[in-house]
Structure 1
Amino acid sequence: MIIAIDGPAASGKGTLARRLAEHFKLRHLDTGLTYRAVAAALLAKGLPLGDEQIAIEMARHLDLAKMDKSLLSSHEVGEAASRVAVLGGLRGELVRLQKEFAATPPGAVLDGRDIGTVVCPDATVKLFVTASPEARAKRRTDEILSKGQEAEYASVLSDLKRRDERDSQRTVAPMKQAADAHLLDTTEMDIETAFQAAVDIVEKARAA
């Protein structure tokens, strides 16, 4: 079984993906971390973010089982990842790795921005998880503050809107809802409500 989850940053898709993977006893891959891992490697070596061949070489040495989210979650890495994600050749290499991960039994839950449209177009069930920019900015701000770091709501909101535009308007694999994906708007939902709604959607898809 493959569950594809797409949506913008801070929509709750990552938390839902982890919970669904645990619930259905599947492996989980946050595909955004693959781009962050490449970006972090480039930053660490002082290499240019726009050189496609260097980025591809970094991707070929990536171990999907050893990506540490805590080390890849900084704002700087996130911005860099959004920039390298527009490189067509790099996307091709990472999509190949992501497809291999999804195809390995017993299946997996993958979350990102092009899972249902590009990585797993034949997924058992597809979810497009979204929320208003304001709700997402508040969640992200609260998350950053809870870690003892500094964050300003207005700045976070502006950053999210900028990333949304970049992700949805890029020429290669833009973020969009697959035609057969179930829309889940979490603006007014807490995580438990959203999780139960997602489980119900998956169960109905399996039954069908």
Structure 2
Amino acid sequence: MIVAIDGPGGAGKSTIARRVAERLGFLYLDTGAMYRAVALWAVRTGVPLDDAHRLEQLAVNAEIGFEECGRVVRLNGEDVSTVIRTPEVSAAASRVSAVPGVRRALVEKQRLAARAASVVMEGRDIGTVVFPQAEVKFFLDASPDVRAARRVKELEEKTGEACKESVARELAERDQRDRSRAEAPLAQAPDAVYLDSSRLTLEEVEERILQAVRDRTANGKEPVR
């Protein structure tokens, strides 16, 4: 089974997807972290962010792995869980993710991962491009203020500092780029359930997604991996 959770940055996708995956015993895949990892590699090696060919080669060759249900992200064996969340890498990831060749390379890695196990996958084009056939699809959203506050909290926990005004501006700019890019723009799949998490607790969001999964199983119980 494939559970697809799409939505803009700061909507709570990673937290919810991880909780749902742990509850179900499914594989969890943070596709945004994959683009961040490629962006980090590009920044470190001095690959220009407008060099589509070299960026695609990085994406093809990158060995990206997840441990502890996505809490640890590894790039070529190195734990990059914290550094990929810095503002510099976030800005680079937004540009890298718009490169068609990079998207094709990482989508292939994402599809390969889902062949081996049931998966909860979150990103911006999972239900529309990566797995349009996913059995359960959600588009998770929240108000701009709530999203900015969540991202600030995340950055403070990971890096120790964050400016809400800067974060809000970066999220708005990222939204514009994601929704307007030619290759796999951010959009709600026609058959996805829209869920605004602004006034919902984590437990409430989690339960709504779990109920949708139960509804897709024959006996109404949570599936096992």
- For normalisation by structure 2, the TM-score amounts to 0.87
CA distance in structure 2 between the partners assigned to 1:148 and 1:78 by the alignment? 13
Q: CA RMSD in A?
A: 1.6
Post-superposition Cα deviations, 1:18-38, rounded to whole Å, max 9, x if no partner, equal 111111111111011111111
1:14 is displaced (CA, Å) by 0.5
CA distance in structure 2 between the partners assigned to 1:90 and 1:125 by the alignment? 26
1:147 is displaced (CA, Å) by 4.5
**Structure-to-structure mapping, 1:110-149, within 5 angstroms:** 110-147=121-158, 149=160
**Structure-to-structure mapping, 1:1-208, within 5 angstroms:** 1-65=1-65, 66-67=74-75, 68-104=80-116, 106-147=117-158, 149-207=160-218
CA distance in structure 2 between the partners assigned to 1:131 and 1:112 by the alignment? 15
Post-superposition Cα deviations, 1:41-86, rounded to whole Å, max 9, x if no partner, equal 0100111011111111111222232344223111111110100111
Query: How many percent of aligned residue pairs carry the same amino acid?
Result: 42
Conserved in 2, the CA contact under 8 Å of 1:124 and 1:206? no
Structure 1 SS opposite 2:82:
helix
Give structure 2 stretches of 5+ with no counterpart. Answer: 66-73, 221-225
Q: Which amino acid aligns with 2:181?
A: R
Post-superposition Cα deviations, 1:126-183, rounded to whole Å, max 9, x if no partner, equal 1111101111011112232344633222221111111111101111100000001111
Conserved in 1, the CA contact under 8 Å of 2:5 and 2:13? yes
Conserved in 2, the CA contact under 8 Å of 1:2 and 1:123? yes
Equivalent in the alignment of 2:69: none
Conserved in 2, the CA contact under 8 Å of 1:29 and 1:111? yes
Moved more, 193-202 or 175-184: 193-202
| Number of residue pairs the alignment of both structures matches | 207
Q: Which amino acid aligns with 2:175?
A: D
Q: Which amino acid aligns with 1:5?
A: I
Segments of 4+ moved more than 4 angstroms:
none
Conserved in 2, the CA contact under 8 Å of 1:128 and 1:184? yes
- For normalisation by structure 1, the TM-score amounts to 0.93
Equivalent in the alignment of 2:70: none
